[in-house]
Structure 1
Amino acid sequence: MAEFWRLGGWVLGAWLLVAPSAWAQTSVAELTELRAERREAALYLTAQIKLELGLAVEDALVKGLAVHFVSEAEVMRDRWYWYDRKIGTATRFYRLAFQPLTRRWRLNVSNEPMSGGGLAGSISQSFETLPEALDVIRRQSGWKVAEMADLDLEARQYIAYRFRLDTSQLPRPFQIAAGNQAEWTLMVARQLRLTPDMVR
């Protein structure tokens, strides 16, 4: 019985953090730029995202909940006879949290998933304001996605890019409460066809 009330308290707390309101600002994620360029022996990606967090997400952050974002890029080669072949991949993980004692925002960036206390391999930065922290996530540049030696000058190739808010990193009760809330559904995806100029 005690376990039931404890779970009920978690669910209620999660609901209070993500409950929509009539005047809530909607979260926005739009890709405004996506380009690739060759630098020496590798292909690099640059992405620019219009990213705005809804009031429910901001409120959850202020109340101590860390929010995770994931950017993924896959370099693919067309194959008419089978699934397209993956020839390069890169992923960036972002963990955004508010530090109530210092009143600062902390952003961790890593090429490996960050869960629990696993932040050792990440780069950490602190910011005075939330927009400053979000600007780092919005501008993704100098991102190595493939070696030029793996690209075929004669083949049709493209980059499949995705950016999303990763609700799977939220505590389980918050995942349930956030599952149907539009403010927590942030995702953008686009394909960029590689031209000969990009791979020569």
Structure 2
Amino acid sequence: MVCACLWLLGCCLAAPHAAVAQTAAAEVGELQLERTEDGLYLGTTLQFDLPDLVEDALYKGIPMVFVADAQVLRDRWYWSGRLVAEATRYLRLSYQPLTRRWRLSISAVPFSNSGLGVMLVQKFDDYADALSAIQRFARWKIAEPDAIKADAVHTVDFRFRLDMSQLPRPLQIGAVGSASWNLLVSRSQRLPAEPAK
């Protein structure tokens, strides 16, 4: 009886640490910010493994939607930063069990059942390749040139998350408050003022 109680206590204490370890391993690499005449571009690489429950749902044919947000704030000495630009990218990953292929759809607007809107669609034979495509951001335009002042310091806040609101209703109910469905990585980086010419 005592052994069973100790084993149960050990399992309860180990479970939260396992969830923390999984989220602690997720991170955003350095943000590569490129200021050009066309605007401000962001590039980065994410490092994470999808939670087991998310991966299992994918293999059962349930699509997962991820959201990447980038905010550009102009620093102000007298108050918090002023939001000058914002960009959002939606990524939907799905698995087709019949063809055993992965499909990644990328859009600047939320996905809807109407099928309207411009999006990029990529297909992959391998799960690792599809996940790698989600984790790479290259030359993503996050601000127009007139939004960025050359003589001001800006801060770029980047966030990537699993959109729980896009899950089927039964999964939403089970996922509320569960660390097993959590995926959120973020990073902030300063964009210094351009040197005077």
Shorter-normalised TM-score: what interval? 0.7 to 0.9
Which aligned pairs between 1:13-24 and structure 2 lie closer than 5 A? none
Is residue 46 of structure 2 the alignment partner of residue 73 of structure 1?
no
- The equivalent residue for 2:191 is 194
Structure 1: tracts of 5 or more residues without a match: 1-19
Residue 151 of structure 2 aligns to which amino acid in structure 1?
A: E
| 1:46 aligns to 2:43 (yes or no) | yes
**Does the 8 A contact of 1:151 with 1:199 survive in 2?**
no
- Residue type at the aligned position of 2:132: D
Q: Is 1:144 aligned to 2:144, yes or no?
A: no
One-letter amino acid matched to 1:58: E
Provide the residue aligned with 2:59 in structure 1.
62
Residue 26 of structure 2 is matched in structure 1 by 29
For the residue of structure 2 that corresponds to 1:149, the secondary structure is helix
**SS at the partner of 1:91?**
strand
Cα deviation for residue 42 of structure 1 reads 1.3
Partner-residue secondary structure (3-state), 1:145 = strand
Residue in structure 2 matched with residue 114 of structure 1 by the alignment: 111
Deviations 1:3-50 (A, max 9, x none): xxxxxxxxxxxxxxxxx9xx9994653112212012333111011100
Tell me if 1:89 matches 2:74.
no
Closer, same or farther: CA 117–177 of 1 in aligned 2, 3 Å: farther
Structure 1 stretch 24-33 or stretch 166-175: which is displaced more?
A: 24-33
Q: Secondary structure at the match of 2:177?
A: coil
Deviation at 1:173, TM superposition (A): 1.8
On the 8 A contact 1:74/1:160 being kept in 2, the answer is yes
Give the TM-score taking structure 2 as reference length.
0.81
Which amino acid in structure 1 is aligned with residue 39 of structure 2?
A: A
Q: Quick one: percent identity of the two aligned structures?
A: 45
Counterpart mapping for 1:140-179 below 5 A: 140-179=137-176
Structure 1 residue 82, shift from structure 2 partner: 4.7
1:94 & 1:199 partners in 2: Cα distance?
39
Q: Quickly say closer, same or farther: Cα 1:151–1:76, change in 2 above 3 A.
A: same
Contact map agreement 1:43 1:199 (CA 8 A) in 2: no
Q: CA RMSD in A?
A: 2.6
Aligned length: 179
Deviation, 1:157, is: 1.3
TM superposition shift of 1:80? 4.2
The answer to whether the Cα contact below 8 Å between 2:86 and 2:142 also exists between their aligned partners in 1 is yes
Q: What's the CA shift string for 1:146-171, capped at 9, x where partnerless?
A: 12222222323111111101111111
- Report if aligned partners of 1:69, 1:163 keep a CA contact under 8 Å in 2: yes
